[in-house]
Chains A and B, each alone.
Chain A
Amino acid sequence: MPEPEYSPAEIMTIAAARRLRNGTVCFVGIGLPSAAANLARLTHAPDVVLIYESGTIGAKPDVLPLSIGDGELAETADTVVSVPEIFRYWLQGGRVDVGFLGAAQIDKFGNINTTVIGGTYDAPRTRLPGAGGAPEIATAAKEVAIILKHSKRAFVEELDFVTSSGYFENSNGNSAARVHGRGPTTVISDLGIIASDAATRELVLTAVHPGVTTEQVKAATGWTLRIAPHVDITPAPTAAELAALRDLHARTTAAHGGAASSE
């Protein structure tokens, strides 16, 4: 049987979905993380527990939410709690296995920026939305996975601002940076997977998606990317994975009146 055709965005979402095991308690960011987490739930991990910061625990949306507090999340959740409760009892309380985040910029220690790009904090060239739940998700979840498209503008040597910290010293040499869990173990991009090295905590390339070379990934990374001794090739998406993802996007587009929800 010929392998199905797929886009870089599709294999990124599918590769990210595969990281979630059945029963994992996942605190989900909106956009790409939400797409991947719901794909996991609709394929190999039907009992993955999705928590959104709007207070919905065990949400099972039929379409991807456009906002983190869409009504469908509440309607399909096991329970809906207040925002103070979700952050204090459930996240800070240590009940989250995986924090699933996106970012505008990331550095080699998995520190992420969602605050400002360019200029200074007080006079930024580009003002981004800010922290949201990320600083505490990044440091209170037992493990963190980050999903974002590869580019030199996103994968940078030095962040313009550290919004949420990674596992190790951040790029400003802030030695206070540490997390309670295992930190940002994995970054899934549209080119491959980079994972935290057990000894140095630096993110190193451990897998490329089919047809992608290590040189391509290096060229799209703003720091000198280290390559693991053995680089896997991500298994190509199966027909079932692709069908589930495309159905999810089709339902989402129909429900949101043609909204570009997320990839």
Chain B
Amino acid sequence: MAVLTSLQEAVADLIQDGAVVALEGFTHLIPFAAGHELIRQRRRKLTLIRMTPDLIYDQMIGMGCASRLVFSWGGNPGVGSLHRFRDAIQTGWPVPLEIEEHSHADMAARYQAGASGLPFAVMRGYVGSDLPKYNKKIQSITCPFTGEVLTATPAINPDVTVIHAQKADRKGNVLIYGIIGVQKEAALAAKKVIVTVEEIVDSLDAPVNACVLPGWVVSCVCHVPGGAHPSYAHGYYKRDNSFCKAWDGISRERETFLAWMNQHILATADFAEYLRSVDADSKVSSHA
């Protein structure tokens, strides 16, 4: 049964150094607050799983939280490169980063397999691609019925999956809407689940077929308004595109990156303070 707790406690209790962690949210509802908290608590040697590493993993990789990255697309959407991600892969700064690279369809299928209690996913993938030459987790399997050769890749079962959602009720039932990405699969594939939410309500009032994670599959629910900034929360606030563009300049050089992280993440106590800090210092619009 879900426990309503602070994000600091949830991260401290559930995510240890060396853990295999998925922070999901497909360009929407990205759990930035949890990423920042992992940075503040100076987690190390994490295996970070995420389809689109995005700014959140750029920050964590640049701060040395990760030793391994499992992903399928690593860019700053609509802007360009992830400089810390590139620096880690190309030069091993600040610590070497092992990568395991897949396609989106594969990652989605692997989470589904994980949520389904199956050892591997099967799909028609990577036809003619070089990726299987470099990633030994991408294998083939022959269909016993048709003889077709298909792709098999191992299930993903993170130690902890972290997602951000719009609402939870006081029993920890969680409602997610808009672009729901792969969050349900990532949550159900994991041993533990942390959900940060925009608000805690008495009743979810969820439509019948809504995407709801029952409280009994969630470990911790943490109330973190604005917790997806600079990504967005459908129905609450828009994506902070100016921040995503500004990140390109902030993150391009190691020195400016570290100065920014020190000022806005390490020197702030929590996400609310971070939000105030970026409002004051950089004129980026933040939580609306």
Contacts and interface: CB of A to CB of B under 8 A. Distances in A.
B131 A135 contact: yes
B27 interface: yes
Contact of B238 (A56, A71, A82, A179): A71
Interface of B: 26-28, 51-52, 71-75, 77-79, 81-82, 85-86, 89-90, 101-105, 108-109, 111-112, 123-131, 134, 178-182, 184-185, 211, 232, 234, 238-239, 241-242, 244-245
Prevailing SS type, chain B contact patch: loop
A16 to B, nearest CB: 19
Interface string A1-41: 00000000000000000000000000000110000000000
Interface in A133-149: 133-136, 139-140
A81 B177 CA distance: 10
A225 B1 CA distance: 64
Contacts of A200: none
Contacts of A123: 90
B226 to A, nearest CB: 15
A133 B107 CA distance: 10
Interface centre among B82, B130, B245 (most CB of A within 10 A): B130
A261 B78 contact: yes
Query: Interface size class for chain A?
Result: 35 or more
A170 B239 contact: no
Interface centre among A56, A80, A124 (most CB of B within 10 A): A80
Prevailing SS type, chain A contact patch: loop
Interface of A: 30-31, 53-56, 65-71, 73-74, 80, 82-84, 87-88, 91-92, 111, 115, 121-127, 129-136, 139-140, 161-166, 170, 172, 174, 176-180, 256-257, 259, 261-262
Contacts of B244: 66
B138 to A, nearest CB: 10
B232 A92 contact: no
A53 B181 CA distance: 9
The list of the 4 closest CB pairs from A to B, nearest first, reads: A165-B128, A69-B27, A177-B128, A67-B77
Given A80-B178, A84-B111, A130 B73 contact: yes
19 contacts: A53-B104, A67-B27, A69-B27, A69-B28, A69-B179, A70-B239, A71-B239, A80-B178, A82-B108, A88-B123, A126-B90, A127-B89, A130-B72, A130-B74, A131-B131, A136-B104, A177-B128, A178-B128, A256-B241
